[in-house]
Structure 1
């Protein structure tokens, strides 16, 4: 019985020892993230080069740069209007999506009339920011790097992985959000 009590005491003392952390099976060095960043920088640089080539070949239009990295020109400019869409405004617009080679991805007819509450609904990043640049009745053509389009996943339909986009956007109407107190 004494042996049993000693054995029980010994096991109890050994069991009180705190848990020991396990060694990681695999140590990540962070190199994947660094490689991904470098890959994305190279992709963006090549897409910006493509945009510059398009702009240089197009002597008919005066391209403007946006703060987010896209380029655009006006097909139809409204010189009279001054108001551009603000958050919570309702806008009606149409657009087409093309590749940089002018191959149609989605036509205006396929997409149809869009009714959009500014900054409150989902649009791809480039389109979301481009709408806020236009005034009522204006039409503009935008060049978006893939990071401002559908990026790596594409749209899971006609737009593949990392496809830069050309979009012609027509802003038909703006209904300003009037807050009543």
Structure 2
């Protein structure tokens, strides 16, 4: 009996000294949601690009340019003399509107008012297309941009005015550029 008691104590000692094992997750994520989302977004972009390309091809009188950042634009008023364009830290003043691709006004220039924006430093609530578009403009120019939804208001849209994933056009007039002391 005494040997049996020692044997039990020895087993308890061996079991108690065992190192803890890592718990395994109950569910493993395969990343399929992200892959599916990326595929959906690629299809959406191709569809929007086709619509914008069709608009451009139907408008024979306007000379559109494409930007490597993923949008298209044309000049309403172009400055061929000045070379000053906004750079990092410059304070720009501008006006803009938001329209659907058919030209129906969603948010007018008057509703937006005069905007001030410090290039690449402001946390101002501007869509990425406008922030990038301003950088290719010169003071006094007016440019109309065609933005796919990912450069515009994307998934969120504008509450009660613009639905989700809708491409837009926006006409921006760059009123002034105040260069920062760093430039």
How does the TM-score come out when normalised to structure 1?
A: 0.89
* Equivalent position to 2:177, from 153, 156, 174: 174
Give, in whole Å, the separation in 2 of the partners of 1:105 and 1:6: 84
**Does the residue aligned with 1:14 lie in a helix, a strand or coil?**
helix
Q: Does 1:80 align with 2:81?
A: yes
In the other structure, the counterpart of 1:14 is 15
Cα distance, 1:4 vs. partner? 8.3
**Does the residue aligned with 2:157 lie in a helix, a strand or coil?**
coil
Cα distance, 1:10 vs. partner? 4.4
Give, in whole Å, the separation in 1 of the partners of 2:146 and 2:86: 20
Mark the runs of 5 or more structure 1 residues left unpaired by the alignment.
Answer: none
In the other structure, the counterpart of 2:90 is 89
Q: Does 1:53 align with 2:54?
A: yes
How does the TM-score come out when normalised to structure 2?
A: 0.88
Give, in whole Å, the separation in 2 of the partners of 1:28 and 1:39: 19
CA RMSD of aligned residues (A): 2.2
Point out the more displaced range, 120-129 or 6-15.
6-15
Mark the runs of 5 or more structure 2 residues left unpaired by the alignment.
Answer: none
Equivalences, count: 180
Give, in whole Å, the separation in 1 of the partners of 2:167 and 2:82: 31
In the other structure, the counterpart of 2:140 is 137
**Does the residue aligned with 2:21 lie in a helix, a strand or coil?**
coil
Change (3 A) 1:52 1:9: same
In the other structure, the counterpart of 2:161 is 158
In the other structure, the counterpart of 2:128 is 125
Cα distance, 1:179 vs. partner? 3.3
**Does the residue aligned with 2:60 lie in a helix, a strand or coil?**
coil
